[in-house]
C-alpha cells in the first residue's frame, strides 16, 4: 500500500512539473496585432533586443512599434495601446452611408435597402441614428460596403413620436454572389 502511495505521489509530482514549465519563447505583439515568437535578450529605454528562433543574429525593435511583450515566465510588459481597432469589412460598422453618387462610381450594385427607425426613439436625432444603423446592418447582410441614400424622410411633428425612414442602394467592391454564379453557369 505504501509503495502504491509513493508511486502516486511521484507520478503527481512529475505531471505537475511538466505542466508548470513556462513556454520556451517570448512573444512580441506589434501595434498591428502581428505576433512574433522570439527570445528577448534585453529591453532598454528605447529598444528591445531579440533573437529569432533558430537564429543567432541579434535584432532590435523600437518601443514605438510594440504593443506588448509576453515573456516566457508569463510576465507582460505593455508599451503602447493600439491606436486603431481594425473592423472587419463584413461588419455593419464598416458600411459607409453617402449621398454622393461619385462615391459609388465603378462599384457593383447589390440592391435596394430600406430601414425605419425604432419606435422608441425620443427625438429626431435618435430616430435618424436608429434608421442609419438599421440601414447599415441590412447592407452588411447583403455583403455591401457602401449605401447610396436615395430617400430619407423624417416623420412626426410636435407632440408625436418621431420617426425616420431611409432608402438607398447598396454597393460593394466585389460582384454580388448571385451575379458570379450566373456568369460561371453561362453557356459559351
Q: Is the pLDDT of residue 87 over 80?
A: no
- Give Cβ neighbours of residue 30 (< 8 Å, ≥ 6 apart): 36, 65, 66, 67
Instruction: Kindly state whether residues 107 and 145 are assigned to the same domain.
Output: yes
Which residue, 47, 66, 86, sits at the end of a domain? 86
Identify the residue whose cell numbers are 527570445: 39
The residues that bridge with 42 in the sheet, in sequence order, are: 49
- Look at residues 56, 86, 116 and tell me which one is the last residue of a structural domain: 86
Mean pLDDT across 69-92: 80
Q: Report the half-sphere exposure of 52 (CA within 13 A, side-chain side).
A: 5
Are residues 51 and 131 part of one domain?
Answer: no
For residue 42, the enclosing domain spans 22-86
For the entire predicted model, the pTM comes to: 0.51
DSSP letter assigned to residue 24: S
- In tens, the pLDDT along 10-45 reads 665 555 554 444 448 999 998 777 889 999 999 999
- Tally helices (H) and strands (E) across the chain: 3, 10
Of 68, 86, 104, which closes a domain?
Answer: 86
CATH code of the domain in which 130 resides: 3.30.110.70
Amino acid at each position: 500500500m505504501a509503495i502504491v502511495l509513493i508511486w502516486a505521489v511521484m507520478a503527481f509530482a512529475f505531471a505537475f512539473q511538466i505542466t508548470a514549465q513556462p513556454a520556451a519563447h517570448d512573444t512580441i505583439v506589434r501595434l498591428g496585432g502581428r505576433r512574433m515568437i522570439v527570445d528577448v535578450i534585453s529591453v532598454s529605454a528605447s529598444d528591445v533586443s531579440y533573437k529569432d528562433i533558430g537564429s543567432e543574429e541579434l535584432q532590435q525593435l523600437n518601443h514605438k512599434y510594440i504593443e506588448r511583450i509576453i515573456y516566457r515566465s508569463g510576465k507582460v510588459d505593455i508599451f503602447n495601446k493600439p491606436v486603431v481597432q481594425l473592423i472587419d469589412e463584413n461588419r455593419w460598422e464598416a458600411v459607409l452611408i453617402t449621398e454622393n453618387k461619385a462615391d459609388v462610381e465603378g462599384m457593383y450594385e447589390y440592391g435596394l435597402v430600406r430601414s425605419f427607425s425604432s419606435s422608441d426613439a425620443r427625438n429626431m436625432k435618435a430616430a435618424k441614428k436608429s434608421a442609419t444603423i438599421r440601414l447599415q446592418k441590412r447592407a452588411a447582410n447583403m455583403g455591401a460596403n457602401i449605401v447610396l441614400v436615395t430617400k430619407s424622410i423624417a416623420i412626426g411633428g410636435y407632440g408625436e413620436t418621431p420617426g425616420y425612414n431611409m432608402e438607398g442602394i447598396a454597393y460593394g467592391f466585389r460582384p454580388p454572389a448571385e451575379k458570379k454564379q450566373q456568369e460561371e453557369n453561362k453557356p459559351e
